[in-house]
Structure 1
Amino acid sequence: MTVKEARDFATHTMRAWGVTARVEDIRLCVSELTTNALAHGAVAGQGFVVKMKAAPGMLRIEVHDSSNCRPELREPEDTETSGRGLLMITVLSDDWGIEDRHPFGKIVWSVFKLDESPVAFESESTGDPS
């Protein structure tokens, strides 16, 4: 799965669920979390999973990968060309965090409060880092 495919999955899923608020914020966070999983989290041959969960008044995105290495929020120098992904997640989402994934790996998630109230849904898409 590519970053574009993850974004497209998010767009299609939100459309199917009737979510119209904060679509671009959610798409950008999916892009950032997926980019991190591809660059730092997916162990060769293990891939990653993107999950979306909706409940009344909220939407949660999760990226599951096979690495136990946790990302750290950084404040990069103005001249650095990377390291701003989690800062963007912090600004665009209402909450985010990291959970252990068993038997190995981690889940990096972010939550978005919505004015609309989609019914409860869950969907996932798998990705192969190759």
Structure 2
Amino acid sequence: MFVQRFSATRRGARLARMLAVLQLDRWGHPYGSPASETVALVVAELAANAVLHGRVPGRDFEVRLRHEAGHVRVEVSDTHPAHPKLPAPDPTAEGGRGLLLVEAVATRWGTSTRTGPGKTVWAECDTYKGPTECRYPNGKVSTNG
């Protein structure tokens, strides 16, 4: 298991993604592999949300990774009490699609309460080493391999 707290800043979010990729490499999923790319995207999006929407001044956010049979569970906890919603994206906006991306690449995702103030947003990412698989929001699957 990997657990680390980060400052609720853009630098903290970037470091969280970099250390997640390093940990995946240690678990046998090298940089650039489908599992590494998926976990990097999920950590980047959830950490960015923790910094942008879950930040409470003076409080850090936490990233927890668990390597389990066939998947990696990513958990990002912040101290803001509001739970995220999956909004309809504004096609003209430059952002606001992070949870849609997480939903598209993760096997499943959700939120839970945590001890103390705040919440945890979690996602499970497959670590299957066969052909690259992409699940689209409409349910279609595309394989490359």
Task: Tell me the TM-score normalised to structure 1 length.
Answer: 0.83
Tell me the alpha carbon deviations over residues 80-108 of structure 1, each in whole angstroms, 9 at most, x when there is no partner: 12210000000011000000011211000
Paired residue type of 1:114: T
Matched-pair contact (CA < 8 Å) for 2:35–2:128: no
Task: Find the counterpart in structure 1 of residue 122 from structure 2.
Answer: 109
Paired residue type of 1:10: A
Paired residue type of 1:89: V
Please give the alpha-carbon distance, in whole angstroms, between the structure 2 residues aligned to 1:56 and 1:86. Answer: 24
Paired residue type of 2:41: L
Please give the alpha-carbon distance, in whole angstroms, between the structure 2 residues aligned to 1:56 and 1:78. Answer: 37
* Alignment: residue pair count: 116
Task: Find the counterpart in structure 1 of residue 39 from structure 2.
Answer: 26
Please give the alpha-carbon distance, in whole angstroms, between the structure 2 residues aligned to 1:113 and 1:24. Answer: 11
* CA apart distance, 1:77: 2.0
Q: Share of identical aligned residues, percent?
A: 34
Which residue of 92, 96, 110 corresponds with 2:105? 92
1:38 alignment partner, SS class: helix
* CA apart distance, 1:14: 0.4
Please give the alpha-carbon distance, in whole angstroms, between the structure 1 residues aligned to 2:70 and 2:112. Answer: 22
Describe how 1:1-130 pairs up with structure 2 within 5 A. Answer: 1=6, 2-20=12-30, 21-115=34-128
Based on CA coordinates, which of the two structures has the bigger radius of gyration?
Answer: 2
Please give the alpha-carbon distance, in whole angstroms, between the structure 1 residues aligned to 2:38 and 2:67. Answer: 15
Name structure 1 gaps, 5 residues minimum. Answer: 117-130
Please give the alpha-carbon distance, in whole angstroms, between the structure 2 residues aligned to 1:43 and 1:35. Answer: 14
Name structure 2 gaps, 5 residues minimum. Answer: 1-5, 7-11, 130-145
Paired residue type of 1:99: S
RMSD between aligned residues:
1.3
* CA apart distance, 1:22: 1.9
